[in-house]
Structure 1
Amino acid sequence: MTSSDEHDLIGTALTDRHRELGAKLVDFAGWRMPLEFEGTIAEHERVRAGVGVFDVSHLGTVWVTGPDATATIAASFTNDATVLADGASQYTLCCDDEGGIVDDLIVYRLDADRWMVVPNAANTAAVVSAMRDAAGGRDATVEDGSRDHAILAVQGPEAHATVERALGLRPQELDHLGLAEVTVGAGTGVLCRTGYTGEPGSELVVPNDLAAPAFDALLEAGAAPIGLGARDTLRLEMGYPLHGNDIDRSTDPFEARLGWAVKLDRGAFRGADALARRKAAGPARRLFGLLGGSRRPPRRGMTVQRDGRDVGTVTSGSYSPVLGVGIGLAYLADPVGPGDAVTVDVRGTDVAFDVVRPPFVDRDPKG
Structure 2
Amino acid sequence: MTTEDLNTDDTGASGRPGLRTSPLHERHVALGAKLADFGGWSMPIEYAGGGVVAEHTAVRERVGVFDVSHLGKARVAGPGAADFVNRCFTNDLRRVGPGRAQYTMCLDKSGGVVDDLIQYLVGDDEVFLIPNAANTARVVELLRAAAPEGITVTDEHDRYGVIAVQGTRSDEVLKSLGLPVGHDYMSFVQAEWEGEPVIVCRTGYTGERGYELLPRWASAPRLWDALLTAVQDEGGLPCGLGARDTLRTEMGYPLHGNDLGPDITPVMAGAAWAVGWDKDTFWGKGAVAAQRAAKESRLMRGLVATGRGIPRAHCAVLSGSEVVGEVTSGTFSPTRKQGIALALLDRSVAVGDEVVIDVRGREIPAEVVKPPFVEVSVRED
TM-score, length basis structure 1: 0.96
Q: Which residue of 2 aligns with 1:234?
A: 247
List 4+ stretches of structure 1 deviating above 3 A: 1-5
1:264 aligns to what? 277
Counterpart contact for 2:302–2:371, Cα < 8 Å: yes
Match of residue 324, structure 1, among 330, 337, 341: 337
Q: Secondary structure of 1:205's match? A: strand
After superposition, the C-alpha distances for 1:282-340 in whole angstroms (9 at most, x for unaligned) are 24210100011245111111110001211011111111011011000110011112111
- How far apart are residue 138 of structure 1 and its match? 4.2
SS in 2 for 1:198: coil
Q: 3-state DSSP class of the match of 1:104?
A: strand
Number of residue pairs the alignment of both structures matches = 364
CA RMSD of superposed structures (Å): 1.6
Q: Does 2:169 correspond to 1:158? A: yes
Query: What is aligned with 2:129?
Result: 117
Structure 2 equivalent of residue 205 of structure 1: 214
Instruction: Provide the residue aligned with 1:221 in structure 2.
Output: 230
Instruction: Kindly provide the amino acid, as one letter, of the partner of residue 31 in structure 2.
Output: L
Once the two structures are TM-superposed, the CA of residue 179 in structure 1 deviates from its matched residue by: 0.4
Residue 7 of structure 1 deviates from its aligned partner by 2.4
Contact 1:295 1:324 (8 Å CA) reproduced? no
Q: Aligned partners of 2:14, 2:169: CA distance in 1, in Å?
A: 41
Change (3 A) 1:269 1:184: same
Are 2:318 and 1:305 aligned? yes
In structure 1, what is the equivalent of residue 4 of structure 2?
Answer: none
Secondary structure class of the residue paired with 1:237? helix
SS at match of 1:235: helix
Which residue does 1:188 correspond to in 2? 197
Task: Quote the Cα distance in structure 2 between the aligned partners of 1:289 and 1:85.
Answer: 33
Q: CA deviation at 1:78?
A: 0.4
CA deviation profile, 1:42-95 (whole Å, cap 9, x unmatched): 100011011111000010011111122101210220010122211101111110
Q: How does 1:1-367 map to 2 (within 5 A)?
A: 6-37=16-47, 38-135=50-147, 137-165=148-176, 167-172=177-182, 174-223=183-232, 224-363=237-376, 364-366=378-380
Matched residue type, 2:228: L
Instruction: Give unpaired runs (5+ residues) of structure 2.
Output: 1-6
Helix, strand or coil for the counterpart of 1:221? Answer: helix
Distance verdict in 2 for CA 1:4–1:40, change over 3 Å = closer
Query: What displacement does 1:222 show?
Result: 2.3
Runs (5+) with no aligned partner, structure 1 = none
CA deviation string 1:220-255 (max 9, x = no partner): 112421000000000000000100011101111111
Q: Match for 2:39: what amino acid?
A: A
Bigger mean CA deviation after superposition, 88-97 or 280-289: 280-289
> What secondary structure does 2:261 align onto?
coil
What SS does structure 2 have at the residue aligned with 1:213? helix
Specify the SS of the correspondent of 1:316.
strand
**Which residue type is aligned with residue 73 of structure 1?**
V
Partner Cα separation in structure 1 for residue 370 and residue 301 of structure 2? 6
Q: Distance in 2 between matches of 1:275 and 1:24?
A: 40
TM-score by length of 2: 0.92
Q: SS in structure 2 opposite 1:19?
A: helix
1:252-276 deviation line (CA, Å, top 9, x unaligned): 1111111111112122221112222
SS in 1 for 2:186: coil
State the secondary structure of the residue aligned to 2:245: helix
Q: Equivalent residue of 2:165, what SS?
A: strand
Q: CA deviation at 1:4?
A: 10
Identity %: 45
Query: Structure 1 CA distance, aligned partners of 2:14 and 2:202?
Result: 39
Q: In structure 2, the residue corresponding to 1:127 is in which secondary structure?
A: helix
CA contact (8 A) 2:82 2:124 kept: yes
- Give the Cα separation in 2 of the matches to 1:218 and 1:180: 18
